[in-house]
Structure 1
Amino acid sequence: MVEEIEKPWIDSKKYQEDRFKEALYEADLAERFLNDGLIRNSAGKAYQAVKAYVAGLAINYRDLLSKYFPGKRRLLPRKVVERVDWIIAIMPSTRLREIASIINDDKLRLIVEIALDLHEFQHNGLDKDSEISRYPNEELVKKDILEVTNFIKSRVKTP
């Protein structure tokens, strides 16, 4: 049986628990992939861990975030939700930096920047000239993956 992540407009506490659990799972996979030499897959999982963590954390800042994301979002002909809840639910990559800035946690902002770099690396790979990737070597990628996974594990309590 596949368990679906709860929607924040239905049960925000359950949604937060689900997203934090997801963040831990993704961080664990990132470390496993890294240990197996699957560095691009590992980078992608580290990014997903941060995305899930920020989505879960955003629940604590919903009222503040609603000032930045006002209005409604139509999901179905008869289903409309607050736009802030939609943003929290899908946590688009294009909003991660902005949401981390609104939350105003300097360490989180750094981790989001690293995660976005890792996401870019996942798609572009290494580039010694740093023209299509910010990473010229694997050692820097590995260091960033571990920094992200350690951050997630330190911030999320094991269920």
Structure 2
Amino acid sequence: MEQLPKPWFDIKRYREVRLREALYEAELAEEFLEEGLVRNAAGKAWQAWKAVVAAYAVDRLDDLRKAFPGLKKPRGARRAVERALWVIAIMPTTALKKVAQIIGGDVDLYTNLALLLHEYQYNGPDKEGVLSAYPDDDVAARDIRRLVQKIRELAR
């Protein structure tokens, strides 16, 4: 299995590998949906979306350097790296929306959907709409399919 290159070593290759990862994760999301594993499918769609955002973030590195200045020492690393590159590599949930806004367009808009599905993945359906925006699995499955379609479009 190919190891994910670190963006601070080879940013272009990193982008290619993350887009391939997005397609693999999207395929798994669809397989899980076919098996009725909707929450698992939401998790795979979420991972695929994070990979898409990370890949597209590479193209906005200068803007990310302004938004995430300074250095960050990755766990287990010997030296610090640019915080913007660390964000691209890890794509933490707490930074996802800000990065998506910097990228703009469909990436920003669909990040909202991905965040809702991430919430659903952990909390499941909620008829009252307190813990999840999805009242049932069928509503979530429709959004998972919509997100997977956009992932395929952006990753090609």
TM bucket by the smaller chain?
over 0.9
Residues of 1 paired with 2:146 and 2:60: CA distance? 24
Q: Distance in 2 between matches of 1:24 and 1:136?
A: 28
1:103 counterpart = 2:103: yes
Q: 1:37-76 alignment to 2 at 5 Å?
A: 37-75=36-74
State the distance in 2 between where 1:139 and 1:109 align. Answer: 24
Return the TM-score normalized by structure 1.
0.93
**Equivalent residue, structure 2, for 1:93:** 93
Residue number in structure 2 paired with 1:4: 3
- Cα distance in structure 2, aligned partners of 1:40 and 1:121: 7
**TM-score of the superposition, structure 2-length normalised?**
0.95
Worse overlay, 75-84 or 14-23 = 75-84
Equivalent residue letter for 2:65:
S
CA pair 146-79 structure 1, distance change in 2 beyond 3 A: same
Could you say which residue in structure 1 is the equivalent of 2:79?
A: 79
Alpha-carbon offset, residue 77 of structure 1? 6.7
Letter in 2 for 1:137: D
Match of 1:36 in 2: 35
Q: Deviations over 1:4-37 (max 9, x none)?
A: 1000000001100110000001111001100110
TM-superposed CA distance for 1:78, in Å, is 3.7
- What is the number of residues matched between the two proteins? 155
Q: How much is the aligned-residue C-alpha RMSD, in angstroms?
A: 1.2
Residues 26-51 of structure 1 show CA distances to partners (whole Å, capped at 9, x for unaligned) of 11100110011000000000111100
Partner of 1:147: 146
User: Per-residue displacement from partner, 1:66-108 (whole Å, max 9, x unpaired)?
Assistant: 0101111123574121110001100001111111111121x22
**In the alignment, residue 90 of structure 2 is paired with which amino acid?**
I
2:77 and 2:102 map into 1 onto residues whose CA distance is: 32
Gaps of 5+ in 2: none
Aligned runs of 1:131-146 on 2, under 5 Å? 131-146=130-145
